[in-house]
Amino acid sequence: ARRSWMARLSAGLRKTGSGITTVFVGTRIDEALYEELEDALLMADTGVKATTQLLQTLRRKVKEHKAADPAAVKALLADALTELLQPLEKPLVIGAHQPTVIMVAGVNGAGKTTSIGKLTRHLADHGQSVLLAAADTFRAAAREQLGVWATRNTVDIISQQGGDPAAVSFDAVSAGRARGKDVVLVDTAGRLPTQLHLMQELTKIRRVITKAYASAPHEVLLVIDGNTGQNALAQVKAFDEALQLTGLIVTKLDGTAKGGVLAAIAQERPVPVYFIGVGEQVQDLQTFKAREFAEALLG
């Protein structure tokens, strides 16, 4: 039997977060405990700012609650982390527009195509009709992979070999409106010759989507690999500046993820986390819950 997604999440997070759990095995609350905790949080990619904030909050809580032993401190850390992560907990809401147009970006390998497949399935399971747009026209493999997901989920796909990504996006949004679809998911390229090209291309797609449908895109999602730690935070900042992100999908949290990066994101660029990826299968997409995540990270 497959382990529950929570078990896989905490196992994945614990591979790097194990340091955090072991901080609390002693019997004394002293400076050494706080120092070890600081190291463990940094190792889990929580980043300097979020780590500093967490430790400040924790010291205050320990005083307020008169925590008597490390186990009590650990519970208070779970509270502090949950509070920090809470702004990221926000559901993806579909239905205010028909179709809801969702543009999806992410660097190659982040798990973008897989996440679009999972999201398609999730939406279909909730009774939404979906149209896929293969706007990553550069990689034939990306188009084919998206085609496989479309077939598997029996949804329409707009795709054009070597075409202009913006034109494919325009056609897909127009087709989505004409066919009365609930959701149009636009898959974009994850790598071009230069980073500048990529951002220009993505902003062009964004503009052209708005030409096809004035209120769109309604959502701009970035898929990030939870294993890439602080680099994921840099990606969130760069893509947010270029595209005004509305949400994130954080993948591979069942792996050796340095999940602390979500605390860094919450601290420095709180873009909501609509979903987390906890495996390669179609059902391995979960909504993000701050409390669950905090407890999984602390092991």
Instruction: Give yes or no for residue 114 binding ligand GDP (CB under 6 A).
Output: yes
Q: How far is CA 205 from CA 64, 96, 135, 242, 245, in A?
A: 51, 22, 9, 12, 14
Q: Does residue 165 belong to the site contacting ligand GDP (CB under 6 A)?
A: no
Query: Smallest distance, Å, CB 206 to ligand GDP?
Result: 19
SS (H, E, C) 10-70: HHHHHHHHHHHHHHCCCCCCCHHHHHHHHHHHHHCCCCHHHHHHHHHHHHHHHHHCCCCCH
Tell me if the bond preceding 217 is cis, omega within 30° of 0. yes
Query: Given the rule CB under 6 A, which of 28-36, 208-216, 227-235, 250-258 is the region that contacts ligand GDP?
Result: 250-258
Q: Is 159 in the site for ligand GDP (CB under 6 A)?
A: no
Helix, strand, coil percent values for the chain (each to nearest 5)? 55, 15, 35
Compose the 254-273 pattern: x for residues touching ligand GDP by CB under 6 A, - for all others.
Answer: xx------------------
Closer residue to ligand GDP (CB): 27 or 161: 161
107 labeled binding residue:
yes
Q: Which is nearer to ligand GDP, 113 or 246 (CB)?
A: 113
| The one segment of 67-75, 76-84, 101-109, 148-156 that binds ligand GDP by CB under 6 A | 101-109
* Binding to ligand GDP in span 167-226, by CB under 6 A: 190
Please tell me the distance from the alpha carbon of residue 84 to that of residue 64, in angstroms, as a whole number.
Answer: 18
286 binds ligand GDP (CB under 6 A): no
Q: Is 231 annotated as a binding residue?
A: no
CB under 8 Å to 189, separation ≥6 — which residues? 135, 136, 137, 138, 139, 142, 165, 198, 201, 202
Tell which one of 135, 189, 263, 278 touches ligand GDP (CB under 6 A). 278
The nearer residue to ligand GDP, 81 or 110, going by C-beta atoms, is 110
Those residues whose C-beta lies under 8 Å from the C-beta of residue 136, and which sit 6 or more positions away, are: 142, 143, 146, 165, 187, 188, 189, 190
For the stretch 273-288, what's the b/e string if a residue is b when 16 or more beta carbons lie within 10 angstroms of its beta carbon?
Answer: bbbbbbbeebebbbeb
CA distance 156 to 129: 9
Unique residue bearing structure tokens 């008597």: 68
Closest contact distance (angstroms) between CB of 111 and ligand GDP is: 3
Q: Is 120 in the site for ligand GDP (CB under 6 A)?
A: no
Tell me which of 122, 206, 218, 252 binds ligand GDP, using CB under 6 A.
Answer: 252
Residue 19, annotated as binding a ligand: no
Told to check if 7 binds ligand GDP by CB under 6 A, we report no
Contact status: 279 vs ligand GDP (CB under 6 A): yes
Contact 278, 3 (CB under 8 A): no
CA 155 to each of CA 124, 128, 130, 209, 286: distance values in angstroms, whole numbers, following the listed order? 9, 10, 6, 20, 21
- Residue 109 as a binder of ligand GDP (CB under 6 A): the answer is yes
With CB atoms as reference, the residue minimizing the distance to ligand GDP is 277
Q: Does 110 show up as a binding residue in the annotation?
A: yes
Residue 48 C-beta: closest distance to ligand GDP, Å: 27
Q: Residues annotated as binding site?
A: 106-113, 187-191, 251-254
Q: Residues annotated as binding site for GTP?
A: 106-113, 187-191, 251-254
Task: Write out the residues near ligand GDP by the rule CB under 6 A.
Answer: 106, 108-114, 190, 251-252, 254-255, 277-280, 284
